[in-house]
Chains A and B, each alone.
Chain A
Amino acid sequence: MAAIKIIINTFILIVSSILGFAFGNLYSKRAKSLLDLQYCIRVLESEIINGSFPLPQALENVSIKGKGGMSRIFKRIKEDLISEKREDIYESFLLQKDLLKDRFALKDEDIEVFLYLGKVLGKSSRRDQEENFKFIKSQLENLHLEAEAERMKNTKLYRTLGFLIGLGLVIILI
């Protein structure tokens, strides 16, 4: 009986700690996704500005060169663009909104920047695009810094919180 009790209590402690870690990782996921997105957009910029590839080809290249799961998003956009024969690339970007939110833990303001990219992509002269890329990159940089600060605070908080709540439960249940 005592052995079962000890096992159950350690189980509760471990589960709550894992839950705390999972919640904490949600915040670190956002920072990582933003970093990946930044990298992908930098690749896209060099493909478009320097390589002068057409948009589907540029997107394909990004999905090959890009980092993390984020590169898959660009592949999806390209496929959607070709299969649905979109006039406006913004609609293809809009389709990825839910995926970004669920899978990559991005917030609405991050997605807004991403959608802005879809709005301006391939619509104007090269110089304008360069300006726009610069703007998007600086904005993403700001968001990443903010996410990083939030991550530092929240990851630690949720880890401690998970462990402490587990400890409290164990103390109550003993």
Chain B
Amino acid sequence: MDVDLIFKIAGMGMVVAVLHIVLSKAGKEEYAYLTTLVGIVIVLGIVINLVSSLFNNVKVLFRLY
């Protein structure tokens, strides 16, 4: 389990936030919304994998079959 992932997600969040600000300043609100959505989906994809691995670990550990 690597700690880099925390920084990765945080970095993604900041990049998406700046993208949102830049795009909405330029008057392209719909693209700003879209980029936010894409960023959230990507991050969700990463996090969901980890959540499922956590659930698997707990299942194996506590014999929750």
Contacts and interface: CB of A to CB of B under 8 A. Distances in A.
- Direct A–B touching, Cβ under 8 Å: yes
Interface of A: 153-154, 156-157, 160-161, 164-165, 167-168, 171-172, 174
A157 B39 CA distance: 19
A99 to B, nearest CB: 30
Contacts of B28: 157
Contacts of A153: 26-27
Contact of B23 (A161, A167, A168, A174): A161
Contact of B26 (A154, A167, A171): A154
Q: By DSSP majority rule, is chain A's interface helix, strand, loop, or mixed?
A: helix
A174 B46 CA distance: 13
A51 to B, nearest CB: 46
Closest 7 A/B residue pairs (Cβ) = A157-B26, A171-B11, A168-B15, A160-B22, A164-B19, A167-B15, A171-B12
B12 A164 contact: no
B26 A164 contact: no
Interface of B: 4, 8, 11-12, 15-16, 18-19, 22-23, 26-28, 39, 42
Nearest to A173: B8
Contacts of B8: 171-172, 174
B19 to A, nearest CB: 5
Nearest to B11: A171
Contacts of A171: 8, 11-12, 15
B39 A164 contact: no
B15 A164 contact: yes
Nearest to A166: B15
B18 A164 contact: yes
A157 B11 CA distance: 20
A4 B11 CA distance: 22
A171 B12 CA distance: 7
B22 A174 contact: no
A154 B27 CA distance: 10
Best-surrounded residue of A153, A161, A171 (most CB of chain B within 10 A): A171
A161 B19 contact: yes
Contact of B39 (A154, A156, A168, A174): A168
A28 to B, nearest CB: 15
